[in-house]
């Protein structure tokens, strides 16, 4: 049975709905597809659709469901295998996935050893729901909610005989569904939990400056269509800088201009943040936040942002930090009137949240002008996650976390089909 051209939009809608609503495993999906005559007919017609139409359908399907659909039958296996190996499809799917109204927060504790190779970590997915049937963009949305969905994620263990801490002190860095783990002695593992891919990175060339205080940045290089990791080692007298490229699976030593070296020597680098191909760190001298060190993944050059918009207010009594608002890097701090202040780096856009009597951190995720903010009073106490929209005047507490979880928020995470084994290909 082959559907007509007029019936194909209906079929696409049915298949998309089927895939979005599927929550079981591949065996359940096979049973579901064979249990209903109607669904069987849809599947028969689905297999007869042109490949470009099937690809467009799969662009709207979540990554884990795409992978589950691969095991329905031989046709689906061939279809999905071809799609997830197509750099253009993966790139388009990634773009759609990243622009959905949701975000997942990855926590380092409490963790559970699944077996000798996997550790399960807590994951909190936040879904933004704007129920607005009016097409007039000038109207204020009246219906607005944030829905937290608790879950978990399993990551591979870094086996290192030098460490007996069960990976509990690993640092995580995330970009486009790839998670870079770094243990306290500098051993690194890159993985995509959705694709169940992982690899141990080779040791950097640097052998002179060792220790757990390596400053790491992990981001996408749009120029070479590859993912890179930059590592910075320095102390009062010595320094080294290297870049790892996933496609070549190798490290290279790079240079830093002398004026930038002078600007960071004797300082500490804090609050690392990577966004849109650039990595940022605060340069801190004697508890004073003076500059921001940047590294561009495309041209592999370091630079300093010297003129911060708040000047002398950047002291470490309540640590300022970097974040992201509407795809722009912002500076977040507490002013002398106890207000939470957020400003773009050029100072052209500023907002304030008045009268705070607790600690806070603006998380680097924003959607529809919203901020995610973590509030707590003292270390180890209960923490609240709050969604704030300064433009709409909306602020709501959407999740309370116990102290054994909230203190260990590590990074954001999004499921993707980006493979660590097929990098360096040009779209």
- Best mean pLDDT range from 159-163, 322-326, 355-359, 406-410: 322-326
pLDDT in tens, 234-271: 776 778 899 999 999 999 999 999 999 988 888 888 88
pLDDT in tens, 276-335: 999 999 988 887 787 899 999 999 999 999 877 765 555 545 678 899 887 788 888 887
Q: In this model, does residue 174 exceed pLDDT 70?
A: yes
- Alpha carbon distance, N-terminus to C-terminus of the chain: 36
Place of tokens 């500059």: 291
How many CA atoms, within 13 angstroms, populate the side-chain half-sphere of residue 84? 24
The pLDDT of residue 200 is 93
| Span 163-176, average pLDDT | 76
CA 44 to chain CA mean position, Å:
38
- 3-class DSSP assignment, residue 48: coil
Domain ranges of the chain: 7-85, 312-407
By C-alpha distance, which of 365, 331, 324, 334 is closest to 345? 331
| β-strand partners of 2 | none
Length of the chain: 427
CA distance linking residue 167 with residue 113, whole number of Å:
10
Whether 209 and 235 have beta carbons less than 8 Å apart is answered as yes
The pLDDT of residue 169 is 67
Q: In this model, does residue 351 exceed pLDDT 80?
A: no
Place of tokens 């659909």: 69
pLDDT in tens, 92-114: 999 999 888 778 888 877 678 77
Q: What angle do CA 132, 138, 144 make, to 5 degrees?
A: 30
- 3-class DSSP assignment, residue 28: helix
CA distance linking residue 213 with residue 269, whole number of Å:
10
| Cα–Cα distance list, 204 to 163, 187, 279, 280 (Å) | 18, 9, 19, 21
């Amino acid at each position: 049975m082959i559907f007509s051209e007029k019936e194909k939009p209906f079929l696409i809608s049915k298949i998309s709905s089927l895939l979005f609503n599927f929550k079981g495993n591949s065996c359940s999906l096979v049973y579901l597809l064979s249990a209903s005559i109607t669904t069987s007919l849809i599947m028969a017609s689905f297999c007869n659709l042109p490949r470009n139409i099937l690809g467009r359908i799969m662009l709207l399907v979540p990554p884990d469901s795409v992978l589950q659909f691969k095991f329905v039958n031989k046709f689906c296996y061939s279809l999905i295998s071809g799609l997830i190996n197509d750099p253009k499809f993966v790139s388009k799917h990634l773009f759609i996935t990243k622009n959905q109204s949701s975000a997942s927060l990855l926590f380092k504790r409490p963790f559970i050893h699944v077996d000798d190779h996997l550790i399960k970590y807590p994951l909190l997915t936040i879904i933004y729901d704007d129920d607005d049937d009016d097409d007039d963009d000038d109207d204020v949305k009246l219906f607005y909610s944030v829905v937290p969905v608790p879950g978990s994620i399993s990551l591979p263990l870094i086996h290192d005989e030098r460490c007996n801490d069960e990976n509990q002190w690993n640092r995580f860095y995330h970009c486009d569904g790839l998670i870079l783990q770094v243990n306290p002695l500098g051993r690194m593992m890159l993985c995509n939990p959705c694709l169940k891919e992982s690899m141990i990175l080779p040791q950097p060339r640097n052998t002179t400056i060792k220790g757990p205080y390596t400053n790491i940045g992990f981001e996408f290089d749009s120029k070479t269509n590859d993912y890179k990791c930059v590592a910075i080692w320095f102390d009062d007298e010595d320094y080294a800088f290297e870049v790892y490229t996933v496609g070549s699976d190798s490290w290279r030593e790079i240079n830093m201009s002398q004026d930038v070296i002078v600007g960071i020597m004797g300082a500490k680098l804090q609050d690392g943040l990577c966004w849109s191909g650039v990595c940022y760190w605060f340069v801190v001298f004697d508890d004073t936040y003076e500059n921001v060190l940047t590294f561009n993944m495309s041209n592999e050059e370091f630079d300093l942002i010297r003129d911060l918009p708040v000047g002398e207010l950047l002291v470490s009594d309540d640590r300022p930090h970097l974040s992201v608002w509407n795809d722009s890097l912002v500076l977040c701090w507490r002013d002398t009137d106890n207000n939470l202040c957020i400003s773009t780096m050029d100072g052209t856009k500023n907002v304030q949240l008045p009268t705070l009597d607790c600690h806070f951190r603006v998380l680097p995720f924003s959607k529809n002008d919203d901020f995610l903010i973590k509030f707590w009073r003292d270390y180890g106490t209960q923490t609240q996650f709050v969604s704030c929209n300064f433009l709409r005047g909306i602020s709501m507490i959407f999740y309370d976390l116990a102290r054994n979880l909230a203190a260990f928020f590590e990074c954001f995470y999004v499921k993707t089909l980006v493979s660590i084994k097929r990098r360096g290909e040009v779209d």
